[in-house]
């Protein structure tokens, strides 16, 4: 059985204008305390077998080399050698990913990088609040290649304020020319509590959809397989860790705001950095939320996650019994389509996925 290990590193040099993740700027002085807390939490899961590893954030590449070594020791002591995971991903931002850190990550056994580009356009990067420029990204990307990384994901965002279809396409074509193995293309979402929300930024949904449709066309012609709503991969390079999420597999999450899903129970840690560290230092639980889904709620979540994958879903008799009416509704309105035994999002459904997913989350509507 696949099981993923996720480790959350919540530190950032600067909070981006669109970011609603549990991350904190200007708290670097707490990194060592946080790693100590991680060591305590990891010990609670010592020996739990995991197939994939993902170190995300935040900005994990913000850690100094001695801190990276400490993190590596925590992983190896409680789980396995990093090199023994089927896939071991490390998230990085261009401005903090140095050749020496790249060499260290490869030496530790990490085999996949996920890099935050978002745009090649300098003005758009400034609007986003990013602190890197295009030249820094190219330098870090080339250093990663030279350092031995043969599996790299790069993130792009569509629908940015001031962004045009031309500027988005220019970024996309420049990225494709680099031939990363995996590309994630996200439509900008304005979430409450972010600077964009406070500034009253509004997305042009039609323009964003046009960009996403163009991305799908361009990436497909370039040999990338569109396998999940926002994700494209060269053959054989689908993200194994994230695919386990979409297949409703188990995972262990360590760190502030991290979630775990084991034996049918989901738990989430406090998102407060100080509270997480205090809990682990004093031997208290950092878990602030726990639920065990059963019945229709469990089957609904399984379907919701599965429909994110473009391969589609072969419905079980129980799923047909519980959600037959909802699925038929979306087949009729054109948001789902059926081929052979599988049901999947239609082309239209890709851009209105939330409308479909809502049908599989409690409280369920009466049809």
Ranges under pLDDT 50 in the chain: none
Q: Residue 293: helix, strand or coil by DSSP? A: coil
- Which pLDDT belongs to residue 229? 96
Say how far apart CA 294 and CA 156 lie, in whole Å. 36
- Which pLDDT belongs to residue 150? 98
Cα 367 off chain centre by: 33
- Which pLDDT belongs to residue 101? 98
CA dihedral 124, 129, 135, 137 (to 10 degrees): -110
Phi and psi torsions of 145, nearest 5°:
-65, -50
- Which pLDDT belongs to residue 176? 98
- Which pLDDT belongs to residue 190? 86
- Which pLDDT belongs to residue 367? 60
- Which pLDDT belongs to residue 362? 79
CA dihedral 293, 296, 299, 301 (to 10 degrees): -60
Break the chain down into helix, strand, coil percent, rounded to 5.
Answer: 45, 20, 35
Q: Check: CB of residue 155 under 8 Å from CB of residue 114.
A: yes
Q: Considering only CA atoms, which of 8, 2, 199, 21 is closest in space to residue 90?
A: 8
Question: What is the secondary structure of 219-246 as a DSSP string?
Answer: HHHTT-EEEETTEEE-TT---HHHHHHH
Question: Which residue has tokens 């589609």?
Answer: 312
Say how far apart CA 88 and CA 90 lie, in whole Å. 7
Say how far apart CA 24 and CA 48 lie, in whole Å. 29
Phi and psi torsions of 112, nearest 5°:
-145, 135
Q: Considering only CA atoms, which of 191, 154, 157 is closest in space to residue 175?
A: 154
- Which pLDDT belongs to residue 153? 98
DSSP E strands: which ranges in the chain?
3-9, 11-12, 24-25, 52-57, 87-92, 112-118, 152-158, 182-187, 225-228, 231-233, 250-254, 259-262, 265-269, 287-292, 313-314, 336-339, 342-345
Q: Which helix (H) or strand (E) holds 365?
A: none
Tokens of 92: 């990085």
Residue 190, C-beta contacts closer than 8 angstroms, at least 6 positions apart = 18, 196, 197, 201, 202, 203
Q: Residue 108: helix, strand or coil by DSSP? A: helix
- Which pLDDT belongs to residue 204? 87
Query: What confidence tens digit (pLDDT) does each residue in 42-64 have?
Result: 999 999 999 999 999 999 999 99
Q: Considering only CA atoms, which of 234, 220, 219 is closest in space to residue 150?
A: 234
- Which pLDDT belongs to residue 200? 87
Provide the whole-model pTM.
Answer: 0.95
Q: Considering only CA atoms, which of 326, 345, 343 is closest in space to residue 335?
A: 345
Query: What confidence tens digit (pLDDT) does each residue in 162-206 have?
Result: 999 999 999 999 999 999 999 999 999 888 888 888 888 888 899
């Amino acid at each position: 059985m696949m099981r993923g290990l996720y480790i959350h590193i919540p530190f950032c040099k600067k909070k981006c204008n669109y970011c609603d993740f549990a991350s904190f700027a200007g708290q670097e002085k707490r990194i060592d305390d946080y790693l100590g807390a991680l060591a305590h939490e990891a010990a609670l899961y010592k020996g739990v077998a995991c197939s994939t590893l993902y170190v995300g954030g935040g900005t994990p590449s913000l850690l100094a080399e001695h801190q990276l070594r400490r993190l590596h020791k925590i992983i190896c002591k409680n789980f396995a050698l990093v090199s023994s995971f089927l896939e071991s991903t490390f998230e990085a931002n261009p401005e903090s990913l140095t050749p020496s850190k790249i060499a260290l990550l490869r030496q530790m056994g990490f085999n996949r990088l996920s890099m935050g580009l978002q745009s090649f356009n300098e003005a758009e990067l400034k609007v986003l609040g990013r602190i890197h420029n295009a030249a820094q990204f190219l330098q870090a990307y080339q250093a990663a290649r030279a350092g031995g990384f043969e599996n790299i994901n790069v993130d792009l965002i569509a629908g940015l304020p001031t962004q045009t279809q031309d500027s988005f396409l220019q970024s996309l074509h420049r990225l494709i020319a680099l031939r990363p193995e995996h590309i994630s293309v996200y439509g900008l979402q304005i979430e409450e509590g972010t600077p964009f929300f406070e500034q009253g930024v509004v997305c042009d949904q039609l323009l964003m959809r046009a960009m996403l449709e163009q991305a799908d066309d361009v990436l497909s012609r370039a040999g990338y397989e569109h396998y999940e709503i926002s994700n494209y991969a060269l053959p054989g390079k689908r993200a194994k860790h994230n695919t386990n999420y979409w297949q409703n597999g188990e995972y262990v999450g360590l760190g502030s705001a991290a979630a775990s899903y084991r034996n049918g129970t989901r738990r989430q840690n406090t998102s407060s950095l100080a509270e997480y560290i205090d809990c682990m230092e004093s031997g208290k639980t950092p878990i602030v939320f726990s639920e065990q889904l059963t019945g229709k709620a469990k089957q609904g979540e399984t379907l919701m996650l599965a429909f994110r994958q473009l391969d589609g879903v072969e419905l079980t008799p129980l799923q047909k019994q519980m959600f037959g009416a909802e699925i038929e509704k979306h087949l009729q309105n054109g948001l789902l389509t059926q081929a052979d035994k599988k049901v999947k999002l239609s082309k239209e459904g890709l851009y209105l996925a939330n409308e479909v997913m809502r049908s599989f989350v409690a409280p369920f509507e009466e049809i």
